[in-house]
């Protein structure tokens, strides 16, 4: 019977119910038969002490009971944190997007400049190849306006603007020589001057003596360096620069009165003595000056980085 009694006693072990299901917020220790002392004796506990502690605990407000976790003081904290997190992600994404865009823009510009440079270099190379095929220019030597032997070797290191004509030319040669002088003066007046030596070479050596060439050049500008020579020497130079020339008919009573038909063109020679560019009669002085300025700057830039 004792065993049965113990079984019945233990079957009535008090159950602890949540405070939310009790109207008073408390629970009571209950037994179905026997007294509390016998139950406590069988279980080895002090029922009175346990009941007292339970009463004290369950009698406290919910927020003071063991295991209670207070709710957040800021009921909007989760939403606020979520918004802050979203803002932070948006900021990071925006910064990365901007950096990526700028980086791609820089790469694109670099690629475009690179291909533009390649195109310009190819055009320059093609132009030089065409000039090479035409075999324009080369070494030459004549007599200068002071009666001294001088030629391409002595002019190395200078940019040269070269024109071929004759002193008895009625109109075209004076116009072109004035244009050549204007070009040189424009380049000299620049903030960063581009020094160019104007050169006049006669196509009529029979009439253009040293003195005549000197006086003729002085009428236009003291900057001009004039050259003449023997018929053979002039023929050689004209052939070197592919200059066409043809002496016109003359009267027996005035054998020196004739016109020379010739190519009307200016050549730009670089400081190394090589053909660099050419300009026809239809080009204006200001236009040619701008072209020369640009080409000289490109040449000097490439020279500095060791391209030539």
Angle at 116 between CA 159 and CA 296, to 5 degrees: 10
Strands of the chain, DSSP E: 141-144, 149-151, 159-165, 196-202, 225-228, 245-247, 260-262, 265-269, 275-280
Can you spell out the DSSP letters for 100-113?
HHHHHHHHHHHHHH
The sign one gets for the Cα dihedral 189, 190, 193, 194 is negative
Q: Is position 217 annotated in a ligand binding site?
A: no
Can you spell out the DSSP letters for 217-249?
HHTT-TT-EEEE--HHHHHHHHHHTT--EEE--
Residue pair 243/164 in contact (Cβ under 8 Å)? The answer is: yes
Tracing tokens 């003359």 back to the chain, one arrives at 250
- Structure token digits, residue 177: 């020589």
Tracing tokens 């640009």 back to the chain, one arrives at 294
Q: Is position 262 annotated in a ligand binding site?
A: yes
Binding residues for Cu cation, as ranges, are 169, 173, 262
Binding residues, as ranges, are 169, 173, 262
């Amino acid at each position: 019977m004792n065993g049965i009694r113990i079984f019945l006693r233990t079957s009535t072990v008090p159950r602890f119910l949540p405070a939310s299901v009790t109207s008073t917020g408390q629970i009571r220790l209950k037994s179905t038969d026997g007294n509390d002392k016998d139950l406590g004796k069988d279980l080895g506990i002090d029922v009175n002490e346990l009941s007292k502690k339970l009463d004290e605990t369950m009698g406290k407000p919910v927020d003071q009971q063991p295991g209670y976790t207070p709710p957040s003081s800021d009921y909007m904290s989760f939403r606020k944190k979520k918004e802050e997190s979203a803002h932070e992600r948006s900021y990071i994404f925006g910064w990365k997007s901007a950096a990526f865009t700028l980086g791609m823009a820089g790469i694109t510009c670099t690629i475009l400049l690179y291909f533009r440079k390649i195109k310009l270099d190819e055009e320059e190379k093609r132009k030089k190849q065409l000039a090479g095929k035409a075999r324009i220019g080369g070494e030459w030597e004549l007599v200068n306006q002071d009666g001294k032997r001088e030629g391409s070797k002595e002019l190395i290191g200078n940019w040269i603007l070269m024109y071929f004509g004759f002193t008895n030319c009625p109109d075209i040669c004076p116009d072109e020589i004035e244009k050549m002088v204007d070009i040189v003066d424009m380049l000299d007046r620049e903030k960063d001057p581009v020094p160019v030596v104007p050169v006049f070479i006669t196509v009529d050596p029979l009439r253009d003596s040293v003195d005549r060439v000197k006086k003729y050049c002085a009428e236009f500008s003291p900057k001009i360096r004039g050259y003449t020579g023997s018929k053979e020497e002039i023929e050689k130079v004209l052939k070197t620069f592919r200059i066409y020339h043809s002496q016109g008919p003359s009267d027996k009573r005035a054998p020196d009165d004739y016109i020379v038909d010739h190519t009307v063109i200016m050549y730009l020679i670089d400081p190394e003595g090589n053909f660099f560019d050419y300009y026809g009669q239809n080009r204006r002085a200001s236009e040619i000056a701008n072209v020369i300025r640009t080409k000289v700057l490109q040449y000097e830039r490439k020279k500095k980085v060791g391209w030539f």
